[in-house]
Amino acid sequence: MEQVDTSYQLLTLFSDGGFMMYPLILCSLVALGVIIAKGWTLWVAHRESQRLLEEIEALGRSGRLGEAIRTAEATRGPVAAILLAGLRRVQERHTGSDVAKAISTTGSIELGFLERGLPVLATIANVAPMLGFLGTVIGMILAFQAIEVAGQVEPGLVAGGIKVALITTATGLAIAIPVNVAYNFFVTRIDQLVADMEEGAQAVLDLVWSLDTRAEREEPGGGEA
């Protein structure tokens, strides 16, 4: 018995979905580009952040600020940027408030960079199902229009419109579901990076406090000498 080929080619699926497939495919391509770029950015930002915090804290407490700054300069990511901004102020003998202000400013800039692209994903996750539902409405309109022209109801008359409705709805959901998953995953990763950034900021502020305390303890001895 000859086996019937029931495979449904992508190009056939695209053409059967009607013109609403064009904006849906555009949404999928934009979302894919943003997901790849954002995934790479967050991977680089998160890589070895905990190790960097421990290393910078150890170098700072031992007084090797120059080496700590060079280590932060050689590392990419928001945690390194915050540590670098704070350590440079510490090396320049700025007050604790100046260090905190520099860290806060750098943190805001880095957070804005981390969140770049997320509104695009959120928009696509919301718009893609709506475009699919719009395709559903258009498909049903075509089906009823075919019935109106023919003056009678036959399965072959409405099959085309129903096919458009189902294909566009399925495509919209197929785009929105992974995009929404990626968006939530990126939000979780950014929250983790924010926690690392706050830990780095606290480490620099603790370093400033320890250096100030050490200077206060050494000052009386220096005066007597």
**For every residue of 81-106, which 3-state class applies, written as one string?**
HHHHHHHHHHHCCCCHHHHHHHHHHH
Nearest-angstrom CA–CA distance, 52 and 115: 22
- Token pair of 18, please? 């009607």
pLDDT of residue 1: 46
pLDDT of residue 178: 94
pLDDT of residue 66: 78
Q: How many other CB atoms sit within 10 Å of the CB of residue 198?
A: 14
pLDDT of residue 32: 94
The phi and psi torsions of 107 (rounded to 5 degrees) equal -65, -40
146 exposure class (CB count in 10 Å sphere: 0-12, 13-18, 19+): middle
Distance of CA 145 to the CA centre of its chain: 44
- Selection from 90, 47, 85 nearest residue 200 by Cα: 85
Tokens 């150890």, residue? Answer: 58
The model's pTM:
0.74
Per-residue confidence of the chain (225 residues) as pLDDT tens digits?
Answer: 445 454 456 666 666 667 788 888 899 999 999 999 999 888 887 777 777 777 777 776 676 777 777 887 787 788 888 877 877 777 676 666 777 787 788 888 888 888 888 999 999 999 999 988 888 888 777 777 766 666 665 666 566 667 777 888 888 999 999 999 999 999 998 888 888 777 777 777 776 666 556 555 555 554 443
